[in-house]
A and B are shown apart, each in its own frame.
Chain A
Amino acid sequence: MATDTVVQQDVQKDESAWSGGKQPFKASYGKLMMWYFLLSDAFTFAAFLIAYGALRFSMPTWPVPDFVFAKIPFYSGEAPLIFVTFMTFVLIVSSVTMVRAVQEGHQGNQKGVVKWMVWTIIGGSIFLGSQAWEWNTLISGEGVTVTKNPFSNHEESGTYLSANDLKKEGYNEVTKDGATYYLATDAADIPENRFFVKYDHNGESYAGKSFEADDPYLITYSHGTELYEAGAYKTAGGEVKKEGYGPKAFGALFFFITGFHGFHVLSGVVFLIIITMNVASGLYHNRGNNYEMVEKMGLYWHFVDLVWVFVFLVFYLL
């Protein structure tokens, strides 16, 4: 019958595809699957960053990035965004060294591949160390946690009060466990009633300094007493108030998203070490596929750099 012949012809034509050995999109299975894994991971990170965007957009105020991220090692002043720019550069350099490693692989140059991959590992490790320093500064130095955020913006203008000002307003000084704070008459000694004279982390007093609405501030966190010393101020209208915490979501989002990215960098470094050792042992030379494993590892590493480009944009620039 006519249909039988047509079916037979189709089967014959497809035989070459079914007999195997043909690569879809001319890419090996491993490379193609690495791309699809990276696509799925991109959606995961996009989901986190979009959640950040939605939450931040819903808040009346949000910590100002160049105020929050202004610390660098060995310097006690303010250097807004300098450290994270350094971290971005470290990842860019490590991406370039990875490109060089892949190129040496295509040349079959085993020693070259090892050399450039070692540089990539060093770059990744420097990034991890830097991120750890950043986290430590925020957690131990400034007291940001997953549930508490001492960075905020003023809603109105005012002037910070000194110890004498507070006493004149009728607040009683209390010194306990190494901390000095002020309570209104008849107020219970609980954290929400404690008013502090504001000092910054270098010990300088803020008494007498005034501020405008939308000015950023940081509730000074005292590492020794583990107290958040919410500074007392007087508004333009004459009310005595103290600094409030900023949006809670800030800490949770920052640590979760940079932590998730840092976890990817860490696993990337671990994989880089394993594959560098494999290269050094001659395994990929024997496979004779142009060091494709190095190329696949390169894809993952560039993806990590790519995600950082967007985390850097969303958290630190916007």
Chain B
Amino acid sequence: MAGLSYEEGKKQAYRGFVLLGIITIVEVIVALIGNGHVIEGFSLPKYVMYPIMIAMSLYKAYFIVNEFMHMKYEVKGLAMSVLLPTLLLVWAIIAFLQEGNSWGQRRELIKDKNAIDVKEGQQTSDILKFEELESGFRLS
């Protein structure tokens, strides 16, 4: 709250509290409604709930960093030197979610192979393995 008078600064702080409080409550309400706790039998799909909650949390983060931590009023160079490296996390999130997905698919494959092993015996699963190697582990 640099450049503001003392009285204005105080008001900004309390407005910040109300803003963050309201956003938090809305986030929780979206989570509860979406999971069916508020209206009987009604639930929201994940692809509706998740973007709303993630966007609200990102906005809270933006507000806390810029206003409470004063970043908006700092020299641009300082702000960039702190905030630009966090863009690396965008790659990290995409890469590791993809990784987790791949682990999940391999677990499914192992489960399927074990089921076949139990049902038909060793021979079939060996053939399956050979065909996978042929197709380069393409999992659809």
Q: Which residues of A contact B (CB under 8 A)?
A: 24-27, 32, 35-36, 38-39, 42-43, 46-47, 50-51, 53-60, 64-66, 80-81, 85, 88-89, 92-93, 95-96, 98-100, 103, 106-107, 295, 298-299, 302-303, 305-306, 309-310, 312-313, 316-318
Mark contacts of B87-115 with chain A using CB atoms, 8 A cut-off: 1 yes-contact digit, 0 otherwise: 00100110011011111100110000000
B14 within 8 A of A: yes
Alpha-carbon distance between A36 and B78 when the two chains are bound, in angstroms: 10
Residues on B with beta carbons closer than 8 Å to the beta carbon of A36: 82
Decide: B101 and A57 in contact? CB cutoff 8 A.
Answer: yes
Chain A residues with CB under 8 A of B1: 99, 103
Give A46 to B16 CA distance when docked, in angstroms: 25
- In the assembled complex, the CB of A309 is this many whole angstroms from the nearest CB of chain B, namely 5
Closest CB in chain B relative to A99 CB, distance in Å: 5
Q: List 9 A-B contacts (CB under 8 A).
A: A32-B78, A53-B93, A54-B100, A65-B31, A66-B37, A92-B17, A92-B20, A106-B6, A305-B68
The 3 A-B pairs of least Cβ separation, nearest first, read A57-B100, A58-B103, A54-B100
Are B24 and A88 neighbours in the complex by a CB distance under 8 Å?
Answer: yes
Q: Which residues 38-80 of B have a CB within 8 angstroms of A?
A: 50, 53-54, 57, 60-61, 64-65, 68-70, 74-75, 77-78
Contact check, A39 vs B82: say whether CB atoms are below 8 A apart.
Answer: yes
Distance of A88 Cα from B27 Cα, bound (Å) = 12
Closest CB-CB distance, A51 to chain B, in whole Å? 7
- Could you tell me how many residues of chain B have their Cβ less than 8 Å away from some Cβ of chain A? 50
Partner of A96, one of B14, B24, B65, B92: B14
Main secondary structure of the interface of B (DSSP, over half): helix
Give the interface centre of A25, A98, A295 by most chain B CB atoms within 10 Å. A25
Main secondary structure of the interface of A (DSSP, over half): helix
B61 lies within 8 A of A310 (CB): yes
In angstroms, Cα B31 to Cα A295, docked, is 35
Q: Which residue of B lies closest to A314 (CB)?
A: B57
The reply to whether B32 and A302 form a contact with Cβ atoms under 8 Å apart is: no
**Distance between Cα atoms of A57 and B21 in the complex (Å):** 30
A103-B6 CB under 8 A given contacts A27-B75, A66-B35: yes
Report which of A47, A66, A309 forms a contact with B61, defined as CB distance below 8 A. A309
Contact check, B31 vs A317: say whether CB atoms are below 8 A apart: yes
Q: Which residue of B lies closest to A38 (CB)?
A: B82
Say how far A250's CB is from chain B's closest CB, in angstroms.
Answer: 14
Number of A-B contacts (CB under 8 A): 136
Q: Which residues of B contact A312 (CB under 8 A)?
A: 57
Complex CA–CA separation, A55 to B81 (angstroms): 31
A27 touches B78 (CB 8 A): yes
Contact B57 A313 (CB under 8 A): yes
Q: Give Cα distance in the complex from A181 to B55, angstroms.
A: 49
Q: Are A58 and B104 in contact (CB under 8 A)?
A: yes
Chain A nearest CB from B53 CB (Å) reads 5
Chain A hits for B64, CB < 8 A: 95, 302, 305-306, 309
Q: Which residue of A lies closest to B28 (CB)?
A: A85
Determine whether the beta carbon of A53 is less than 8 Å from that of B78: no
Picked from B10, B24, B89, B102, the residue with its CB within 8 Å of the CB of A100 is: B10
Task: Determine whether the beta carbon of B78 is less than 8 Å from that of A25.
Answer: yes
A18 CB to closest chain B CB, in angstroms? 19
Of B21, B27, B37, B86, which one neighbours A92 at CB under 8 angstroms?
B21
Q: Which residues of B contact A60 (CB under 8 A)?
A: 104, 107-108
Min CB gap A303→B, angstroms? 8
A59, A81, A93: the one contacting B32 at CB < 8 Å is A81
Asked whether B13 is an interface residue with its Cβ less than 8 Å from the other chain, the reply is: yes
Q: Which residues of chain B have C-beta atoms less than 8 A from A88's C-beta?
A: 24
Q: Which residue of B lies closest to A78 (CB)?
A: B37
**Which B residues lie within 8 Å of A103 (CB)?**
1, 6, 9-10, 13
Q: Is the CB of A42 within 8 A of B86?
A: yes
How many Å from the CB of B64 to the closest CB on chain A? 5
> With a CB–CB cut-off of 8 A, which chain A residues contact B99?
54, 58
Nearest B residue to A60, CB-CB? B104
Q: B20 to chain A: which residues have CB within 8 Å? A: 92, 95
Shortest distance between the CB of A296 and any CB in chain B (Å): 11
**CB within 8 Å for A59 and B82 given contacts A53-B93, A306-B61:** no
